Structure 1
Amino acid sequence: MHTRTLPGNHGADFAKVLTALRDVRVRSDVRLTEVPAPTRIAPYAAALTADVVDPADPEGELATGRFVLLHDPAGPDTWSGTWRVVTFARAALEPELAGDPMLSAVGWSWLTDSLKGRALTWTAEAGTVTRVVSESFGGLADRAASVEMEIRASWTPLRGALTEHLRAWADLLCTIAGIPPLPDGVVPLPGQRR
């Protein structure tokens, strides 16, 4: 994780969390990569990106996203705590979902269900769920319509290891990628996307 830290005990606490995040193991079809963390949001920050690969085609990407963990010992009022998770997740969906009026609410429930599924609690959640529908015309009219969902969310962890919040976010990525959830320790078998 690329981080920006300040000296003091808070730096030591953040370093422990950082080490734990580096050691997190997620599903084999989720590839985590360290990336530069934002530098102006909080005194301590770490960031990861993830791609969910297609089990049938390891070069194919089903979903992508970014996970940022922020720590500010001052506890900004809007956070209601000293730690903050900021995430982004995006995946292509089936075109017939484009007109579903419940799609955004379902996308948000996938996030909260991922957190609940790991017995986590949180507060001060905020975010958006966006669907992007692309239709082609003229010389591109033969292209099929495409639909993407983007979930941008942040929350303040209350209970549960911060590593579990990362795992919950990885679960969300798999959900929007159309990969069924698996209990920890279970290895997915190659197969078709649902």
Structure 2
Amino acid sequence: MTLSRVPGATRDGTGPDAFERAVRALREVRLRPDVALSEVPAPARIAPHAVALAGDVVVDGEELATGRFILLHDPSAPPEWEGTFRVVTYARADLEPEFGADPMLGQVGWSWLEDGLREHGARATGVGGTVTRVLSEGYGALAERPPSVDVELRASWTPLPDEGPAGGRAGEAPPFDVAAHLLAWGVLLCTVAGLPPLPEGVTALPRAQR
């Protein structure tokens, strides 16, 4: 899906050339039609420049997963970033209750992110995050409510420059392959939702029936 507008979160509407080029590159990215992508307010105070996208996987009017993709830029290159850009993401979906007790759920969930980055050649360093499961059971007046399990993956990483020559005309290409990182997150979001096709070797978990 093409974004109609993805401005940088700067008060005067301007930003470093590198960030502006990255934002323009985001406008050109197309995710699969099941993902409804839109701009949302970017977090303030984390970095001088930021853009945030919300993605919802919707099939036949039913929302299967939701998430965020945030691109931060700080020209001062914070030491913990190991670069001037940082990607921050999350993805959440409901699963069948029996998967809440699976001790491999976290490892499997994290592999979805790694597979997405690898599938699209998104070079990154400092990749880290968490996989959280929440089991909800009803008691008392809510005893008839069926149990549910939410899985949420939060991750961040620093994009690395491409090894090959940058595309586009000189001075117009972003400093890294922006599309690869957004597409990698799109793979994660759709895998969490249980949608095929999947990267080779990845098995989808059955989603919760509503």
Q: TM-score, normalising length from structure 2?
A: 0.80
Aligned pairs (5 A) from 1:2-17: 2-5=7-10, 11-17=16-22
Kept in 1, the 8 Å contact 2:95–2:207? The answer is no
Matched, 1:40 2:42: no
Q: Deviation string for 1:103-126 (max 9, x for gaps)?
A: 011111111111111122211112
Q: Deviation string for 1:61-117 (max 9, x for gaps)?
A: 000001100111111111111110000110001111011001011111111111111
**Equivalent residue letter for 1:116:** R
CA offset at residue 173 of structure 1? 0.4
**Of 64, 78, 81, which aligns to 1:79?**
81
CA offset at residue 4 of structure 1? 2.6
Kept in 2, the 8 Å contact 1:134–1:147? The answer is yes
**SS of 1:89's equivalent?**
strand
Match of 1:181 in 2: 197
Match of 1:18 in 2: 23
Q: Deviation string for 1:160-188 (max 9, x for gaps)?
A: 511210111011000000001369xxxxx
CA offset at residue 193 of structure 1? 7.1
**Structure 1 CA distance for aligned equivalents of residues 43 and 196 of structure 2:** 32
Q: Deviation string for 1:13-72 (max 9, x for gaps)?
A: 211211111221100000101011112111111100000012xx1x21000001100111
Kept in 2, the 8 Å contact 1:84–1:156? The answer is yes
**SS of 1:98's equivalent?**
helix
Match of 2:166 in 1: none
Higher-strand-fraction structure = 1
Match of 1:186 in 2: none
Kept in 2, the 8 Å contact 1:6–1:44? The answer is no
Q: TM-score, normalising length from structure 1?
A: 0.87
Instruction: Count the aligned residue pairs.
Output: 182
Gaps of 5+ in 1: 184-191
**Of 171, 177, 191, which aligns to 2:187?**
171
**Structure 1 CA distance for aligned equivalents of residues 26 and 115 of structure 2:** 21
**Equivalent residue letter for 1:175:** T
Kept in 2, the 8 Å contact 1:3–1:36? The answer is no
**Of 99, 116, 121, which aligns to 1:97?**
99
CA offset at residue 137 of structure 1? 1.1
Identity %: 57
**Equivalent residue letter for 2:192:** I
**SS of 1:68's equivalent?**
strand
Match of 1:187 in 2: none
